[in-house]
């Protein structure tokens, strides 16, 4: 189940970054439409949209990527929680939120903290070229250590299968 969720998160992150989607439409409208699909409270959708745009501008993260992560993690539900203990719109773990210095129960703090954490993962994995964003999103979801472990395992499998 965890792998399916991770795959969906990566697929969503790639789909929102395709050229044309954000350029052809007003970003506010695109984000608001995504949020309102799950959350019927128009005031909350407006607030969430503006918070995403603010976080995007503050930390230089594509607003559509933030939207994709939030959509996958919480379906734009401010009170979201997970069995693993993740909290809020961006599903921050308490230790991650504490490390960043945000209150995960505060919706703006949660969005800013999630964006900071996403920016960190983009910086960590950006050197992987076309795989940088999907790897960063995987690290956002599963943690950097899990991604590094998977990457090492994958290299061993490829080496074993491809080399005589």
Has 73 been annotated as catalytic? yes
Under DSSP, is residue 3 helix (H, G, I), strand (E, B) or coil?
Answer: helix
Euclidean distance between CA atoms 124 and 112, whole angstroms? 18
The whole-model pTM stands at 0.79
Euclidean distance between CA atoms 98 and 96, whole angstroms? 5
Q: What is the pLDDT of residue 158?
A: 58
3, 54, 89, 128, 163 from 157: Cα distances, Å: 18, 42, 36, 19, 10
Q: What is the pLDDT of residue 14?
A: 47
Q: What is the pLDDT of residue 132?
A: 87
Which domains, from first to last, does the chain contain? 2-162 (1.10.530)
29 and 50 in contact (C-beta within 8 Å)? Answer: no
Q: What is the pLDDT of residue 24?
A: 37
Q: What is the pLDDT of residue 126?
A: 81
Q: What is the pLDDT of residue 2?
A: 47
Choose the catalytic residue: 23, 71, 73, 161: 73
Q: What is the pLDDT along the chain (164 residues), one digit of tens a residue?
A: 444 444 444 444 444 444 444 443 599 999 999 999 999 999 999 999 999 999 999 999 999 999 999 999 999 999 999 999 999 999 999 999 999 999 999 999 999 999 999 999 999 988 667 788 989 999 999 998 888 888 777 666 655 666 55
């Amino acid at each position: 189940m965890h792998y399916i969720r991770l795959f969906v998160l990566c697929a969503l992150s790639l789909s929102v970054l395709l050229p044309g989607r954000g350029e052809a439409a007003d970003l506010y409208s695109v984000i608001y439409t995504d949020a309102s699909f799950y959350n019927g409270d128009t005031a909350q959708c407006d607030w969430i949209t503006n918070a995403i745009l603010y976080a995007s501008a503050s930390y230089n993260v594509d607003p559509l990527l933030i939207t994709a992560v939030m959509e996958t993690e919480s379906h734009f539900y401010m009170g979201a929680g997970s069995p693993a203990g993740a909290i809020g719109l961006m599903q921050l773990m308490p230790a991650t939120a504490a490390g960043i210095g945000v209150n995960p129960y505060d919706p703006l703090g949660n969005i800013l903290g999630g964006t900071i954490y996403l920016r960190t993962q983009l910086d960590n994995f950006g050197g992987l070229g076309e795989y940088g964003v999907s790897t960063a999103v995987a690290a956002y979801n599963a943690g950097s250590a899990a991604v590094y472990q998977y990457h090492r395992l994958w290299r061993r499998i490829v080496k074993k299968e491809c080399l005589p």
